[in-house]
Each structure stands twice: as C-alpha cells, then as structure tokens.
C-alpha cells in the first residue's frame, strides 16, 4: 500500500441528534422512520461520523444493514411505553425541562449500572477511592483516562451509554496519571494494565504517551502487558494512518514494545464489514508494524451479528489480517438491551456453529461470555446429565481467582439471556460461588459506609 493516499475524511466530522437534518443519506428514509430516530435519540446517546456514514453503511440495505443498526437509533431500542411517552412530548413541542425529566426517569428504568462497576470495583489509595481506576480481577487494572471517555461514533448497544447520556462537564483530573502510577507501583500482583473508555484512541497521542511511557521505568517491571480497548480501527482508522499525531501514536507503541512490554490493541469488532475498507486495512497494518498485536473482541447482538456465518467470516478475516480472535461477549442487561439481546442457548449455538467452520488459529476466541458481577462466566454448552438438560458454565475470570475453570451447572432455560436468570441444576439451592460473593459484597458495602 506504499504511496496510497487517503485524502477524504482527513478531518473528523461527527453528528449528534441535533444534526440529523444535515445527514444527506437520511433524506431518502420515510418521515416516520426519521421521527422514530429522533425519539430514540432523545432518550439514548447518538453520535456518528462521516466516515461511518459514507464508507461503512450500505444505504441500499437500510434499516437491516448491520452497521446502520450499530450506529443509528432503532425504534426497538425503547419499550413501546417509553417510545410513546417521548414521541408524545416531541409532537406537542414540550419544553426541554419536561423532556429531560422524562428521559431521566426512563434512564433509571434501563438498569444504568449493571455488574456493580460503580461500587464494587473502585480501589482505594491511602484511604481515598480512586476515580478512573477499577481493579476487579487480580492481574488486571482498568484505567479510564478522563480525556478518553467518548468515542468516534457511539454503538447503539453500548453498555456504557449512561456516561454518554449525561451532559457531564469534563472533569479534568491532572492527578489521574500520578494516581495510576502510584497505584500500579504498590500492586506487584498486577501484570496487565487495560486502558479503556469510551475509547482511549480519541485522546491526543501526547496524553496517551504521558500515561504510558513512564511505565518503562523499573518500578513497573511487573506490568508486562498494556492493553488498549478501542473501536477506532472501525470508526476512525484515520487515527492510525492520517491524523496529525498518528505517527506519534505509532511511535509510542513502538517505544513501549522496544522496552519489553507487550502492547495489545483490544479491537472491538462486531461484523466483518468493519474491516473491509482500504483505510481500515491500512490501520491494521500500521499498528502491527509497531510490534503491537491486535486481539479482537465484541458482543453478540440481534440485528447485527446473530448468525454463525457472520462470526465465522469475521474470525477468518481477522486471522488473515494478523489479528487474534479473543472474546465473544453476551450483550449486557442494560440500556437498549431489549433490541439486541440473544438468548444464552442461541448464543452458544451461534458460537459453536461459527467455531466449527474455522481452523484452530481462529479458535482462540472464547465465549459466549457474560461479564457479570462475580466474574466472566462462559457458556460452555448444553448437555444432558442424568436426564436433566443443563447449561455447562465456567468462570473465565472471577472475583476470587479460585473460582476460575470450575465447571458448574444451571437448569436449561431457552429464554434466559443473563446469568441472573439462571437457576442451579440438580435441585441445588445456590451456585457454588454465591455465598462467598455475598460476603464480599457485604464487606465492601460496610467499607464504603465507613469511607464516605
């Protein structure tokens, strides 16, 4: 690709709900459909950029196009009652305050904080809760840099929707990097730092390097791996190719690799169509040239990728482009979940149906996995044991590392879509980890009360 230029979209341009009328392609859609999109975008976050609109969405296939489903508001994302409520307000030109109050109440009914991220995972430094850091599994610390809490486009199914929905003032926290470094220094059991968001790739390269380059010092020898969770390879591959500071970004990756760190770009992909454009492929090549590896992960979603062949094609293409398929997630029980959820039984069939079609190099992907409060729980399959149909489950990650890789069993339920719908098999009262998990939770609640 030497010499290939990418002149279009050299500068980033995004639309939000107030700019619907400026999106040329929407003009061909029916009036009803455009109104429905406005209704949903009033209640849930919306942001899409010109590259996604022009290069990724197949407008001849709207509304079924998976990339359209992934980025534009869909009527099914709200319940009928919520939809009607907002529609009525918009039709009657209700004032902003009335709309915001209704929207706020709707948000509260959409399970805005699943898996207790807010309360259970925030660590302490010198007795003070550390904003921007989560530490749930022994080996891995999550870091949410303030400047990386938005994305180049928003996914309609995103479980982080509450943070995008809030018109929050950007909390500039200069101490954040220092906190991160101090915390990591004191936790030698941590081998992985996972920088996440939003999308940390919306940050300037200089900010990212300020956080990451100090990790080359001997104080951080225990940090073997730096992972960066991103969907920029899909939504804004220009970030790695033609943005003003793309070179600086790639150089930062290279420096970290040279210093002996493993750099893993945790690329969020939902469909093989995301990696078809020349610039998306160039971005993958550029990242790989630095010595970083790309691991691919993403949720299974109705209307987008609930099809074994879509996954098989995606995994094959990822391997071919030099990426490692890593996780297939189950969509979390929050936000627009109603539109995207897939029953666990069906999720496993899709995973199995996809895996059966690919070679061993693509079978590195694990799943379908639920990131639930006690840990990441994988559905290993459906089996008959002593006349009872059961789900076979295991922890891929647990709040207690000792839970990992212990098979356990739940009654088969064709409609269950999340861990809390499952009941233990064989007439047992509780799953093996539940008592201990309850105790952890109680301990943490007491501690929170003391601290605040």
Ligand X SMILES: *Cc1c(COP(=O)(O)O)cnc(C)c1O
**Which one of the spans 136-144, 179-187, 244-252, 414-422 is the region binding ligand X (CB under 6 A)?**
136-144
The nearest distance, CB 234 to ligand SF4, in angstroms, is 8
Task: Kindly tell me which residue out of 39, 87, 103, 158 binds ligand SF4, with binding defined by CB under 6 A.
Answer: 158
Nearest distance from residue 239's CB to ligand SF4, in Å? 12
| Interface segment toward ligand X; rule CB under 6 A; list 137-145, 156-164, 181-189, 245-253 | 137-145
Tell me the CA distances in angstroms from 116 to 81, 113, 166, 415, 422, one per residue in order. 27, 6, 18, 24, 18
Phi and psi based region of residue 198 (left: phi greater than 0; alpha: psi -120 to 50; beta: remaining): left
Residue 366 partner contact from ligand SF4, ligand X, none using kind-dependent CB cut-offs of 5 to 8 Å: none
142 binds, among ligand X, ligand SF4, none (CB under 5 to 8 A by kind): ligand X
Pick between residue 151 and residue 190 the one whose CB is nearest to ligand SF4: 151
Binding mask 226-255 for ligand SF4 (x = CB under 6 A): -----x------------------------
**Radius of gyration of the chain from Cα atoms?**
22
In DSSP terms, 369 is beta-bridged to: 329, 378
How many residues belong to the site for ligand SF4 (CB under 6 A)? 10
Shortest approach of ligand X to residue 376 CB, angstroms?
Answer: 6
* Residue 143, helix vs strand vs coil: strand
Separation CA 84–CA 88 (nearest Å):
6
Residues in region 351-410 near ligand X by CB under 6 A:
371, 376, 396-397
- Of the candidate residues 15, 137, 154, 418, the single one contacting ligand SF4 (CB under 6 A): 154
Cβ pair 74, 40 in contact under 8 A: yes
- List the end-to-end C-alpha distance of the chain, in Å, as a whole number: 56
Q: 155 touches which of ligand X, ligand SF4, none (CB within 5 to 8 A by kind)?
A: ligand SF4
Q: Are 174 and 228 in contact (CB under 8 A)?
A: no
Distance CA 355, CA 364 (A): 10
Distances in Å between the Cα of 29 and the Cα atoms of 15, 25, 37, 44, 48 are: 17, 8, 11, 20, 17
145 binds, among ligand X, ligand SF4, none (CB under 5 to 8 A by kind): none
Tokens of 42: 């009033």
Q: Which range touches ligand X (CB under 6 A), out of 10-18, 62-70, 129-137, 424-432?
A: 129-137
Kindly identify the residues of this chain, within the stretch 260-289, that bind ligand SF4 according to CB under 6 A: 268
160 or 394: CB nearest ligand SF4: 160
* Order of all β-strands in the sheet with 366-371: 133-137, 140-143, 192-195, 225-230, 262-268, 293-300, 324-330, 366-371, 375-385, 388-398, 408-411
**Does 199 help bind ligand SF4 (rule: CB under 6 A)?**
yes
Identify the residue among 50, 140, 225, 380 touching ligand X (CB under 6 A). 140
Three-class secondary structure of residue 443 per DSSP: helix
Size of the site for ligand X (CB under 6 A): 10
Contacts with ligand SF4, residue ranges (CB under 6 A): 151, 154-155, 158, 160, 197-199, 231, 268
Contacts with ligand X, residue ranges (CB under 6 A): 134, 136-137, 140, 142, 194, 371, 376, 396-397
């Amino acid at each position: 690709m030497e010499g290939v230029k990418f002149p279009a979209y050299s500068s980033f341009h995004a639309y939000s709900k107030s700019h619907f009328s400026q999106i040329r392609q929407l003009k061909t859609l029916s009036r009803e459909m455009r109104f429905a999109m406005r209704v949903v975008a009033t209640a849930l976050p919306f942001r899409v950029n010109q590259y996604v609109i022009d290069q990724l969405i197949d407008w001849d296939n709207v509304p079924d196009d998976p990339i359209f489903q992934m980025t534009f508001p869909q009527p099914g994302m709200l319940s009928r009652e919520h939809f009607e409520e907002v529609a009525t307000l918009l039709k009657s030109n209700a004032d902003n305050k009335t709309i915001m109050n209704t929207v706020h109440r709707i948000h509260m009914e959409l399970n805005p904080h699943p898996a207790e991220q807010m309360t259970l995972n925030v660590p302490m430094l010198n007795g003070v809760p550390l904003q921007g850091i989560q530490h749930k599994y022994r080996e891995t610390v999550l870091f949410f840099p303030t400047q990386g809490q938005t994305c180049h486009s928003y996914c309609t199914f995103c479980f982080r929707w509450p943070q995008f929905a809030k018109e929050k003032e950007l909390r500039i926290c200069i101490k954040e990097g220092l906190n991160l470094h101090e915390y990591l220094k004191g936790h030698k059991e941590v081998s992985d730092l996972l920088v996440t968001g939003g999308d940390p790739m919306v940050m300037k390269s200089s900010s990212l390097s300020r956080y990451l380059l100090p990790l080359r010092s001997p104080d951080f020898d225990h940090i073997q791996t730096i992972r960066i969770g991103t969907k920029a390879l899909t939504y804004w591959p220009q970030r790695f190719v033609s943005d003003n500071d793309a070179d600086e970004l790639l150089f930062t990756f290279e420096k970290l690799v040279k210093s002996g760190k493993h750099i893993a770009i945790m690329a969020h992909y939902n469909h093989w169509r995301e990696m078809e454009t020349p610039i998306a492929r160039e971005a993958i090549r550029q990242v790989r040239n630095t010595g970083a590896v790309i691991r691919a992960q993403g949720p299974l979603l109705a209307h987008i990728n609930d099809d074994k062949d879509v996954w098989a094609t995606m995994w094959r293409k990822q391997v071919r482009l030099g990426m490692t398929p890593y996780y297939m997630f189950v969509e979390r029980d929050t936000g627009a979940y109603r539109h995207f959820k897939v029953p666990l039984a069906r999720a496993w069939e899709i995973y199995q149906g996809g895996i059966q079609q690919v070679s061993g190099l693509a079978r590195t992907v694990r799943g379908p996995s639920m990131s639930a409060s006690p840990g990441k729980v994988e559905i290993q399959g459906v089996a008959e044991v002593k006349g009872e149909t059961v789900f076979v489950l295991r922890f891929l990650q647990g709040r207690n590392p000792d839970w990992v890789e212990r098979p356990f069993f739940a009654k088969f339920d064709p409609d269950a879509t999340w861990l809390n719908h499952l009941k233990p098999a064989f007439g047992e009262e509780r799953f093996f980890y539940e008592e201990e998990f309850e105790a952890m939770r109680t301990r943490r609640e007491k501690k929170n009360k003391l601290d605040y």
